Amino acid sequence: MKQINVAHVRKWMGLNRKNIRAPQAISTICPHCGERVVFTARAHFHDEKRESVACTGACPSCSEYVHFWAMDPKSSESTAEEDPETLFMSPAGDIEKEPVNFPIEMPESLERAYLSAVEAHGTANYSATALCCKQAMEKIFAHLLPAEKASIGLSEAIAEIHENHDLARPLEKLSASTGSGGQLERHFEMECEFTAETSKAMVELLEHLITYLYVIPQEIENIEVKFDEAA
C-alpha cells in the first residue's frame, strides 16, 4: 500500500444516492508491469465508518488488478480546490518514484533538473530519465565548484570536489559540538532544557548521520552492482 498523488485522478464520478466523489479514471504507473496506464476504476464501495471509497482497476497493459482507496471522500459537487481526498494504492510496487521534498534550499537549476528526472521516470521515458539524471548530477557538482570550473566534465568535477572540497567539514563541526562546552555536549550532559523541538532535532541528527555514514556509501555500492548486473 502506498499513497499516490490525488492529481493522478483523471476523472471523478458521483457514487450512489449520496453522490460521493469517487475516482473513475486514475493515471499512474502499474505496479505489476511498470507501464504508465490509466486504470478505469470499478466495483466502488463506500465505507462510511472508515470514511473511504475503495475501488479496483485492471491494468490495460498487463491485466493485473490494482486496488485504490480514496480517504475522506466529499460530495461530487465539491470542487478540486477543497481539501483533496488522500489516495492510496495497493500493491505499492517499487517502480514509481515521488519527488523527495528536500528540507534544504537548493540551487534552482539543480531542483529543476532533479524534478525533470523524476518526471521523465514517471512517464516511463527511461532514456530521457538517464539524460536528466546526468544533467542533474552535473548540476550537483557544478554548484560546488568555483565558476571557472563549472563546465568541466562530470567525472573530472567529482574528482575535483573529492580533492578540494572539504567533505569532512560536517564531521569536524559535529566533533566540536560534542566536545567540551559544545552545544550537543551540553544537551547530552542535561545542562539544557529539552523541548519537543530539540528532542526531535536530535533524533533527526541520528537519522542524517546514519544516512551520511552508512546508507550513502552502501547505496552507491549497491547501485554499481545493479548496473553491473544489468549491463
Binding site for Zn ion (CB under 5 A): 30, 32-33, 59, 61-62
Smallest separation, CB 67 to Zn ion (Å): 14
In angstroms, rounded to a whole number, what is the distance separating the alpha carbons of residues 95 and 178?
A: 41
Which CB sits closer to Zn ion, 21 or 121?
121
Burial of 103 (0-12, 13-18, 19+ CB in 10 A): exposed
Which CB sits closer to Zn ion, 43 or 62?
62
Which CB sits closer to Zn ion, 64 or 221?
64
Q: Assess contact for 41 and 24: CB atoms under 8 A.
A: yes
In angstroms, rounded to a whole number, what is the distance separating the alpha carbons of residues 136 and 67?
A: 34
Smallest separation, CB 60 to Zn ion (Å): 8
Q: Assess contact for 75 and 23: CB atoms under 8 A.
A: no
Which CB sits closer to Zn ion, 73 or 122?
122
Smallest separation, CB 87 to Zn ion (Å): 18
Burial of 25 (0-12, 13-18, 19+ CB in 10 A): middle
Smallest separation, CB 10 to Zn ion (Å): 17
